[in-house]
């Protein structure tokens, strides 16, 4: 989502830009083989997801451990490469999450190789990432699906706002932000709409959201859809191979519609607050940036936490796996504190 008149994903950074070494290596590899940065990053994450998928479905094969190790490192590299973008837009939550992805991926790879017999929880985590990564990036990489999701999100927000009597709004034409800095209607774009084959600007596809006076309040992009939150639960629940299909389906039917409705409230709240209090600021942070990058994220994380707790009653296996995955972290904290964790 963008703020009034300017994309929030393009806040300027004062000073001399630093060359991030891993990103520089990836860019140089792309230049050497003639592949643009976006396509190469998509290849990294999709190959990582495929390796994790192989390790999940071929878990009885001894080589699956090495498939998993490769997958974890590639996934870690991809998400780490996104941290530069979140530094630019000053998003502290996602900076922390993406910056820790590479060391986390390496740690999981080491765990995979050192473990003689793969724990059920680690096996579940392989499947969790597989079922999350591949569907998400298929939607991202197919412009028709990407645009349909953006349109659906914008229309849901419009319905929510107008139903609540908070104003009259309308949605503009679907636009695409090209890598050369131009923004054009999708109807004038000659790119492949079935498979994304060219590098776009970070905004990608978007629609503008106008108030009754024809003023652009925000712009919706794929990240506004709540798909990231949904896909986490798709992966976590879908990978519970020991759980019956019926119980997994019930879990998804609880999680996904709930996330969508909560995301409608989130988007509607951001739009209404941004339009109603355009001059409000806190320590130099405007209403849109505050609600989008701080308040809404904190509330969303808390809501996901509560939803996970609710699902633990239906799917206790999910809780068991999560706690087992967190055990090494708890052990490390205990060692730092100088205590011994009882087993």
pLDDT at 24 over 90: no
pLDDT for res 339: 56
Residues 179 and 288 in one domain: no
CA distance 72 to 107: 9
Q: State whether 130 and 162 are in the same domain.
A: no
Total tally of structural domains belonging to the chain: 3
Is 150 in contact with 219 (CB distance < 8 Å)?
Answer: no
Nearest to 126 by CA among 116, 112, 140: 112
Considering the domain architecture, whether residues 183 and 234 belong to the same structural domain is answered as: no
How many of the other CB atoms lie within 10 Å of CB of 285?
14
Higher pLDDT, 15 or 304: 304
pTM of the complete model: 0.82
Q: Is the domain of 235 the same as that of 321? A: yes
Do 167 and 37 have their domain in common? no
Res 1: pLDDT: 64
User: Are residues 209 and 295 both part of a single domain?
Assistant: no
152 and 132, same domain (yes or no): no
Q: How far apart are the first and last CA of the chain?
A: 46
Q: What's the pLDDT at 16?
A: 44
For residue 189, which of 134, 146, 133, 249 has the smallest C-alpha distance? 146
* DSSP state string for 245-309: HHHHHHHHHHHHHHHHHHHHHHHHHHHHHHHH-TT-EETTEEHHHHIIIIIHHHHHHHHHHHHHH
Domain end (from 203, 220, 237): 220
Q: How do residues 35-88 score in pLDDT, each as one tens digit?
A: 777 888 889 999 999 999 999 999 888 899 999 999 999 999 999 998 887 787
> Cβ distance 37 to 85 under 8 Å?
no
Domain region containing 164: 144-220
Q: Is residue 15 part of a domain?
A: no
In percent, the amount of the chain with pLDDT more than 90 equals: 58
* Final residue belonging to a domain, choices 157, 185, 220: 220
Boundary of a domain, candidates 187, 220, 253: 220
**Contact call for residues 79 and 87 (beta carbons, < 8 A):** no
């Amino acid at each position: 989502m963008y703020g009034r008149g300017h994309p929030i994903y393009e806040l300027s950074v004062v000073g001399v830009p630093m060359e991030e070494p891993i990103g520089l290596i990836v860019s140089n590899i792309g230049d050497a083989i003639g592949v643009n940065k976006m396509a190469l990053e998509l290849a990294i994450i999709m190959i990582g997801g495929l390796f994790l998928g192989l390790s999940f479905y071929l878990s009885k094969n001894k080589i699956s451990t090495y498939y998993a190790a490769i997958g974890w490192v590639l996934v870690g590299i991809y998400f780490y490469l996104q941290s530069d973008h979140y530094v630019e837009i000053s998003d502290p939550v996602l900076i922390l999450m993406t910056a820790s992805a590479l060391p986390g991926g390496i740690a999981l790879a080491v765990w995979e190789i050192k473990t003689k017999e793969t724990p059920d929880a680690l096996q579940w985590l392989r499947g969790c990432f597989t079922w999350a990564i591949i569907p998400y990036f298929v939607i991202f990489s197919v412009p028709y699906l990407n645009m349909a999701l953006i349109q659906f999100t914008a229309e849901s927000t419009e319905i929510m706002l107008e139903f609540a009597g908070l104003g009259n709004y309308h949605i503009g034409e679907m636009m695409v932000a090209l890598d050369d800095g131009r923004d054009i209607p999708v109807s004038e774009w000659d790119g492949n709409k079935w498979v994304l084959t060219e590098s776009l600007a970070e905004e990608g596809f978007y629609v503008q959201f106008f108030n009754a006076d024809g003023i652009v309040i925000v712009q919706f992009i794929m990240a506004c859809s709540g798909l990231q939150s949904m896909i986490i639960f798709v992966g976590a629940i879908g990978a519970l191979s020991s759980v019956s299909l019926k119980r997994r389906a019930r879990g998804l039917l609880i999680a996904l519609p709930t996330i969508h409705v909560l995301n409608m409230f989130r988007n509607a709240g951001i739009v209404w607050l941004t339009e109603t209090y355009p001059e409000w600021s806190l320590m130099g942070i405007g209403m849109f940036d505050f609600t989008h990058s701080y308040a809404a994220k904190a509330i969303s994380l808390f809501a996901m936490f509560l939803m996970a707790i609710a699902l633990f009653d239906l799917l206790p296996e999910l809780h068991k796996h999560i706690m087992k995955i967190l055990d090494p972290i708890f052990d490390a904290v205990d060692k730092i504190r100088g205590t011994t964790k009882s087993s």
